[in-house]
Structure 1
Amino acid sequence: MTKYFLHRPYPVPATEEARAQAAQQLASLRESTNAPGFGERLARICELARVALDMDRAFVSLVLDEQQHFIATANFDVESTPREIAFCAHAIMQSAPLVVEDTWTDVRFRDNPLVQEPLNLRFYAGTPLLVDEHPVGTFCVAHGSPRVLDDKQSVQLAHFSALVRSELQVLQELENFRRQATLLRQTERLAEVGGWEVDLEARQILWSREAYQLHGADPALPVSFEQLADFYPNGEAERLYRAATRAAHQRASTRTRLGLGQDLGHARLTRRSHVTELEL
């Protein structure tokens, strides 16, 4: 088991409490949110950057309260390190990339265990990743011998860092969508209101979970236009179709009162509001 020792106190941003909280939230999202392909896309960006900049390694880190976690890597088989020895702890202190051309000649890093074998990080370049204006981590490239980034490579590093930031933003947006969807389901259940989505051209229908509940239908089974007559007999299904068509034609919302069937032993009335959304 490798032991790491504190060589020097690491710098701390003035907004460290909020910054660390933002980084921890992002780390938790990565573990809990269903984000298909997120890790694979980040790893692909790392590999592309490593090859394009002719580096030995590339990685994405999150700098937490006491640790830095690598959430994607290329040719860098390390999951985490203490923050005391993290190059990225210094990178998040500045807006511009931190470039260390030779770690052996930099007083901040020359005694760092990461510059020794087996990792032997002699060159490091890390760009801070901002989330909600907080530097939560970095996108980095590293090499086993001293290097100098030319102007072209610096631009490439900035582009790859922007791709990583976009992926982190998508992760946040997916979580926001999940929370909004959960809130909508809770609101539908409490208000006994169901949501519809109707594709008039494809004649397809998408019901929310509460809409299935209100109709007494199985959520596992899709509903077609042809099946609407089972829920809205006596011409009510056709009235619904005409109302939706009229709303689309007029590009305005319409409200229609429709009667549900008596499959549950009693007649029910339901009010349907149609709001048109045009997809170009």
Structure 2
Amino acid sequence: MTAVPTVELNDGTTIPQLGFGVWQVPAEQAEDVVTKALQTGYRHIDTAAVYRNEEGVGAAIAASGIPRDELYVTTKLWVSDFKKGATKQALETSLAKLGLDAVDLYLIHWPAPADEKYLEAWQAMEELQAEGKTRSIGVSNFLPEHLDKVAEAGSVIPAVNQVEVHPALQQRDIQAANTKYGIATQAWSPLAQGAVFGDQPIVDAAGAHGVTVAQVIIRWHLQRGRILFPKSVTPARIEENFDVFGFELTDAELEAIDALDRGERTGMDPATFNPS
């Protein structure tokens, strides 16, 4: 079994650096897809309440026979549950669907900054951590100003900030803010949904190492120290995305990919996205 590197978080826990994401995985496919990921060697699964596939993730975990302490499970709080009582109930609901007593990481999914209710949600997250319902707490899609407000209002610094990062959108200001607070950067949409697969530095590196462009991008994230969780429902690609530990990009290749940043999003802008 391939040993995936781990990242130590600011609360003293560790997280596998390469995980498996289930965004847009249909509920009816989730159990089979996560089962394949676990069989491949993934031990870090990232889901969310709003994905509506926590039951399938939980079923795959239960059927896997893998000891709980060898798995790392993340889920996320949706904006509609930002009030204190609702936040706690939301996690209880997620735990029931996952079939778990606790998750390893619970994230605020989006800041929805218009009314700053994420600060109330963060206080509830701190209580959930103290109660042992989640080992670590963190945020997702938080901009530097949101991190500043959480750090000022809360008593716990987020362990993770999960944001869109890929060669075409590197969000260096957010990564710098994360570093300032000792927050680990976790990349969602790490492959830009294929939008960068034709970029020449990535194509050239793939040819030089005899690997795929997706493997090059995953390797770039890993060597730059980010946590990531590529998603696929295709068995061959699930395996391919995990087979990234047999080569290493050169400094020149890393720098060439770094230079591809052009501010292109695949998702929503956290500054203006205010879902209900």
Above 0.5 in TM-score? no
Taking structure 2 as the reference length, what is the TM-score of the superposition?
A: 0.23
Highest relative contact order (Cα 8 Å, sep 6+), 1 or 2? 2
Larger C-alpha radius of gyration, 1 or 2?
1
Taking structure 1 as the reference length, what is the TM-score of the superposition?
A: 0.23
Report the structure, 1 or 2, having the larger strand content.
1
